[in-house]
């Protein structure tokens, strides 16, 4: 089976994220990067989106999740994004990176990266 990848890069959204009082009041920026591992060989042959992962649908589900979320930890947000991605049966593995710009003084960003697989 081929191991092909679809990248969703720099999806910029806003959500409640963090456990400090000020973080619980105002939405903050997060930058999400996703790698979807899937066998895309059928799509390469047929040129039909039904044989691929429709990344527009995946993106819309992620936006819906993130914009209404209210998690304490980046880890939890990343895990929930991964869960949504794995709802698509064609996605065999997903790597999710969630950046929180300005989370630490003197650092451009703090990020959490997780990898999850189908059926795990």
Segment 7-41, tens digit of pLDDT: 999 999 999 998 888 888 999 999 999 999 999 99
Domain ranges, residue 45: 4-117
**For residue 109, what are the β-bridge partners?**
101
H-only helix segments in the chain: 21-25, 41-46, 55-67, 74-86
Residue 91 has pLDDT above 90, yes or no: yes
Q: How far is CA 21 from each of CA 2, 89, 95, 112, rounded to the nearest angstrom? A: 47, 39, 30, 21
pLDDT at site 2: 53
Tally of structural domains, the chain = 1
pLDDT at site 119: 82
Residue 1 has pLDDT above 60, yes or no: no
Q: What proportion of the chain, given as a percentage, has pLDDT over 70?
A: 98
Q: Which pTM does this prediction carry?
A: 0.93
Q: Give the CATH number for residue 63.
A: 3.30.1130.10
**How far apart, in whole angstroms, are the C-alpha atoms of residue 89 and residue 115?**
16
Residue 67 has pLDDT above 90, yes or no: yes
């Amino acid at each position: 089976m081929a191991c092909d990848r679809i990248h969703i890069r720099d999806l910029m959204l806003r959500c409640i994220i963090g456990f400090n009082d000020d973080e619980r009041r105002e939405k903050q920026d997060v930058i999400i990067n996703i790698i979807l591992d899937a066998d895309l060989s059928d799509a390469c042959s047929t040129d039909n989106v039904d044989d691929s992962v429709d990344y527009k649908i995946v993106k819309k589900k992620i936006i819906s999740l993130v914009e209404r979320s209210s998690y304490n930890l980046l880890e939890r947000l990343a895990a929930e994004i991964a869960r949504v991605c794995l709802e698509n049966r064609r996605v065999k593995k997903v790597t999710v990176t969630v950046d929180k710009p300005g989370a630490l003084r003197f650092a451009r960003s703090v990020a959490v990266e997780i990898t999850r697989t189908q059926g795990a």
